[in-house]
Structure 1
Amino acid sequence: MTDPQKPDPLLEWNRLSRENAENAIVSSMFEASSTAIEPIEAFVTWLLVGAAAVASFLLGNSDKLVAILGQRGFLWCGLLLAASCLFGLIAKTYLLKAEIGHRIGRAVAEVLPLQLKSHEETEERIQAAASQRGIELETGIRMERVLSEFLAPMPHFVKWLVARSLKKHGNSPQMAHLLRIESMNRLGLFSFLQSLAFLVFIVVGFVAAVT
């Protein structure tokens, strides 16, 4: 007779199978969304280089441009260009963070299955030997030790970031993807602010030139 306190093994198997398939689909969708990094990177880089070139031109011709734009107009144009460059640099940092996370994730995804397969084969032999001797052994991978060994040589701020991420997303099977998506969201925000500051610079420059 089945213990009413325990879930039906068939139902539990079905639940786990569905969750694993759904998680795999979500992971593939997150992975596909990472391809958006490349065009955003090209745009941010192009606009950052363009803003820096225009700023260099303004500084090199300040005496002539002040007469055209006025002192206040020239100052506002310079501030807006500086803001555009600042937002571009911040976007670049989130871009770097997302790209590093993506590459590390791909490397782990390639190596981890091989390590797990090797461990499972050894685990089966150990469990068989333990069963013959009538003893029980814990042969599962100790993730606490894995993280402890991995973080041991890391700087303190990296340990803090990992602990914060585990606390925030530790229960999600999509943790690695969520961290990358967060970086991409911030990348999109600062690239938008970068573009907006540059467009406002153009408008302010024309207004200052005709007034």
Structure 2
Amino acid sequence: MTDSDPGDPLLEWNRLNKENAEHGFVSGLFQSMSETSPLVEKFSMWLLAGTGATAALLITQIESVLPYLSESGFKICLIVLVLSALLGFIAKYYSLRCEIQTKVQSKFMELVKPVLDKHEKDEDRIKEYAKQKGVTLQTDIDLSRIMNEFSRPFPFWVKWLISRKIQKTSGDRQAGFHIAVKAYMSQIRWTFFQALLFIAFILTATWYANAI
């Protein structure tokens, strides 16, 4: 048997080892990126708090503010603040989604790793014993059986969503991290728009104040 023989178990072992290491690096990159989500959330919440405080000040001091902004300027500034706050809530939603997915993925890997390690050790022993007995065994883990057991306590529509998600991400080992990263990118995008609108409020208020 030569080194190029595709049936060589050593070649398959080497391929799997490299593939697992590569996926491990990719997972690490995804997870490290998602870990910065709380920092973006802090900035977004700071903007949201500032937006709320500013809106409250404008409303409570409307009689004092109107002479400087005019009625139309006051309305426009308030609308811009409301839109900025709305985008802040959207950014918060994606922040929670990213955080939840990251924690679920990390906890899942933490809990499953010892199970897989034990399975691999037992699998090697079982295969060796089966080889001595001249018996062929199927030792691969049945993922469909796992998911069927997992989805059993859920209502039918959740089962349908789980089944649909499994079919959509079948064979994608990074699917869980993809969800977190997509949520993280959406969080950054909406936080950016939130900040732009807050800046737009400042510029609008300044423009109306100077126009009077």
TM-score interval, normalised by the smaller of the two chains: 0.7 to 0.9
Cα deviations across residues 15-61 of structure 1 (Å, max 9, x unaligned)?
33322221111111112212311211110111111101111111111
Structure 2 equivalent of residue 30 of structure 1:
30
Would you say 1:205 and 2:205 are equivalent positions?
yes
What do residues 145-178 of structure 1 show as CA deviations (whole Å, max 9, x unaligned)? 2222323344666556545544443332211111
Aligned positions of 1:4-15 closer than 5 A: 7-15=7-15
**1:141 equivalenced with 2:130 (yes/no):** no
1:73 aligned residue: 73
- After superposition, residues 169-208 of structure 1 pair within 5 angstroms as 169-208=169-208
- Aligned sequence identity (%): 36
Secondary structure of the corresponding residue to residue 138 of structure 1: coil
Partner of 2:152: 152
Aligned residue pairs: how many?
Answer: 210
**95 and 159 in structure 1: CA distance in 2 versus 1, 3 angstrom threshold:** farther
| CA offsets 1:78-111 (integer angstroms, 9 cap, x no match) | 1110011100000001000110111111111111
Q: TM-score, normalised by structure 1?
A: 0.84
- AA at the equivalent of 1:18: K
Quote the offset at 1:67 in angstroms. Answer: 2.4
Q: Indicate how the Cα distance of structure 1 residues 73 and 160 shifts in structure 2: closer, same or farther if over 3 A, else same.
A: farther
Gaps of 5+ in 1: none
SS at match of 1:32: helix
Q: TM-score by structure 2 length?
A: 0.84
Q: Point out where structure 2 has 5 or more consecutive residues left out of the alignment.
A: none
- Root-mean-square deviation (CA, aligned residues, Å) is 2.7
Alpha-carbon distance change, 11 to 130 in structure 1, aligned in 2, over 3 angstroms: closer
